Amino acid sequence: MLGVLAEGPLHGYELRKRLIPILGSLRPLSFGSMYPALRRLADRGLIDPGEPTPAVDSSAPPLSGRRARVVYSITGEGKELFGSWVNYPGPEAWEDEGFATRMAFFSRTETRIRLRILQGRRSRLEERIATMRESMARGAARVDAYTLALQQHGLEGAEREVRWLDELISAEGQPE
């Protein structure tokens, strides 16, 4: 949320709309989980909820019962924390859970840090590929054709991602 709010103040609906493509379809974001998270960020002084403003809808009659909108903005402390997070190259930056979110903000990440995260991700996947191949070789005779096909699909996906990462790493070395 901090990364999106670093681009400018937003009300909750627009914030959720911008977060969904970043989080991906496998990590749904409901208003029921987003607003408590916004409250926690505000309690920590990382965002400012501002004063509620009336919702403007030209098609709605006056006093139609529409709720006021709260426009959230990032604070200086929030910007500082986001800057630290986006430029931290540790293992959580290249693990499955955090990699896509980190990559969504790569334009704000220092080049050397981007490179380190990409290399870490590639290394992690190469380890996974070796483990998958070993497991498939040991268990090929004991699994049915569907399980073997599923394992092969996972292996091919990881190999494809390594090739993609190699391209990104190579591009990082090129002048922008």
Asked if residue 176 has pLDDT above 80, the reply is no
In the chain, the DSSP E strands lie at 10-11, 47-48, 71-74
CA distance 92 to 99: 8
User: Among residues 128, 129, 126, 130, which one has the least CA distance to residue 169?
Assistant: 126
Do 79 and 101 reside in the same domain of the chain? no
> pTM of the predicted model, to two decimals?
0.77
Do 45 and 108 reside in the same domain of the chain? no
How many domains, in total, are found in the chain? Answer: 2
Domain holding 148, by residue range, is 89-176
Where is the domain boundary, 43, 61, 86? 86
Do 116 and 176 reside in the same domain of the chain? yes
Which CATH number fits the domain that encloses residue 82?
1.10.10.10
Each residue of 92-151: pLDDT tens digit? 998 888 898 889 899 999 999 999 999 999 999 999 999 999 999 888 778 888 998 999
User: Among residues 114, 112, 128, 133, which one has the least CA distance to residue 161?
Assistant: 128
Each residue of 28-55: pLDDT tens digit? 778 888 899 999 999 999 999 988 776 6
Do 49 and 94 reside in the same domain of the chain? no
Where is the domain boundary, 39, 57, 86? 86
